């Protein structure tokens, strides 16, 4: 029996983690704390929202009184901390928002856990982070758990700071923690501001597909359900005080990814293959755009037995099919109508 607090559980990755824990562990009580910003959507969880072991809590991780009340009332044993501002472009425009949520919000959670768990055993603060904290790679090499931090954007700097605070609380206050740093996720329920869902939506509407620079930036892609499985494995098998890199062993140049996505979309829409590639539009590169990310995920494979199970082509096709079958979800998200769901069902 565990009482598990998942922060940011209405978001893209968080909703998949919440679903996995609610379905896989009926003996656990799962509490989903989410502020419901533009990226938090309760429609992501309609299939499990009435489960007996699930409770949604609307609130901000920066609200110290609320977080303390949740720990006291629900006797939280495990924190799976996913709540974060996560879009690099938004961090360039408004870095303060990223400091507030990603740094101050994390510290608030750490302080609450430290006070609530004094003298307790079998507790865990699990902080989910990003490979972007490591900076940028050249044409060769991989990020490992010992790679020095070298964040390049306000977003990655805020995540690096939160990682450091988690480790510092472990060292100073003996707070039991684990950190994981993952590569780019993709899959169902992804808010269409990120590359893959944005391209799917634009192809669907016959609009230009913006690609930064020449499209030569390289990312390692991980199917979101594989990430949720990795998080599950780390919660139950991970070593306290350790860091685990989670990657897809799956590097793609942005332009090659988009071309493959265009061809899959054409096949699924019944268009002549190559039609959607005409929508590709190269735009001015992002400021400080990291060239390449690539994760060495051998530690989690060797020590905990996890490795990705979904190939990129398979995952991309599953993602495309989900968006095409859930056009109402996509329309609600792009129009902002999804925000009404909370008022109708929880307000």
343 confidence band (pLDDT: 50, 70, 90): confident
Residue 321: pLDDT band by 50, 70, 90 thresholds? very high
Residue 65 lies in a domain: yes
Rounded mean pLDDT, 58-70: 98
Determine if residue 174 is left, alpha or beta; phi over 0 gives left, psi from -120 to 50 gives alpha, anything else beta: left
* Domain assignment present for 208: no
Confidence band, pLDDT 50/70/90 cuts, at residue 237: very high
Q: What is the pLDDT of residue 57?
A: 98
Sign of the C-alpha dihedral, residues 89, 94, 96, 100?
Answer: negative
pLDDT tens per residue, range 261-301: 999 999 999 999 999 999 999 999 988 888 899 999 999 99
What pLDDT shows up at residue 317? 97
- Give which of 223, 194, 198, 219 is closest to 290, Cα–Cα: 219
Q: Which residues are catalytic?
A: 131-132, 155
Predicted TM-score of the model (pTM)? 0.95
In-domain check, residue 324: no
Tally of domains in the chain: 1
Band (109; pLDDT cuts 50, 70, 90): very high
Q: Residue 269: inside a domain, yes or no? A: no
The pLDDT of residue 347: 64
- 77 occurs within a structural domain: yes
Is residue 340's pLDDT more than 80?
no
40 is a domain residue: yes
Residue 271 lies in a domain: no
Q: What is the CATH number of the domain that holds 308?
A: 3.40.50.720
| Nearest CA among 204, 45, 246 for reference residue 32 | 45
State which residues form the domain around 125.
Answer: 3-190+221-252+293-312
Asked whether residue 216 is assigned to any structural domain, the reply reads no
């Amino acid at each position: 029996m565990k009482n598990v607090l998942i922060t940011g559980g209405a978001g893209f990755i968080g909703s998949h983690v919440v679903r996995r824990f609610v379905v896989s562990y009926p003996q656990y009580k799962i509490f989903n704390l989410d502020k419901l910003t533009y990226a938090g959507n309760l429609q992501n969880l309609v299939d499990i929202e009435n489960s007996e072991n699930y409770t949604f809590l609307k609130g901000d991780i920066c609200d110290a009184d609320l977080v303390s009340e949740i720990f006291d009332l629900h006797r939280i044993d495990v924190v799976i901390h996913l709540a974060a501002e996560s879009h690099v472009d938004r961090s360039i425009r408004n870095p303060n928002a990223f400091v507030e949520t990603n740094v101050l919000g994390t510290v608030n959670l750490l302080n609450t856990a430290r006070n609530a768990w004094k003298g307790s055993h079998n507790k865990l603060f699990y902080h989910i982070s990003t490979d972007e904290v490591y900076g940028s790679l050249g044409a060769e090499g991989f990020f490992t758990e010992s790679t020095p931090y070298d964040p390049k954007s306000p977003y990655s700097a805020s995540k690096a700071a939160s990682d450091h605070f988690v480790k510092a609380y472990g060292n100073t206050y003996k707070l039991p923690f684990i950190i994981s740093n993952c590569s780019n996720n993709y899959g169902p329920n992804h808010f269409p501001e990120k590359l893959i869902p944005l391209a799917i939506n634009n192809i669907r509407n016959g609009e230009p597909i913006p690609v930064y620079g020449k499209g030569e930036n390289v990312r390692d892609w991980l199917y979101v359900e594989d990430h949720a499985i990795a998080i599950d494995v780390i919660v139950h098998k991970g070593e306290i005080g350790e860091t685990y890199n989670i990657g897809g062993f799956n590097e793609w140049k942005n332009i090659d990814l988009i071309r493959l996505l265009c061809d899959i979309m054409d096949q699924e829409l019944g268009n002549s293959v190559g039609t959607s590639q005409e929508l590709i539009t190269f735009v001015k590169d992002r400021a400080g755009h990291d060239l390449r990310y690539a994760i060495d995920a051998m530690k989690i494979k060797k020590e905990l037995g996890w490795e990705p199970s979904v190939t990129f082509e398979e995952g991309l096709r599953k993602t495309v099919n989900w968006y095409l079958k859930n056009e109402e979800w996509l329309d609600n998200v792009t129009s902002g109508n999804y925000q009404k769901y909370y008022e109708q069902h929880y307000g």
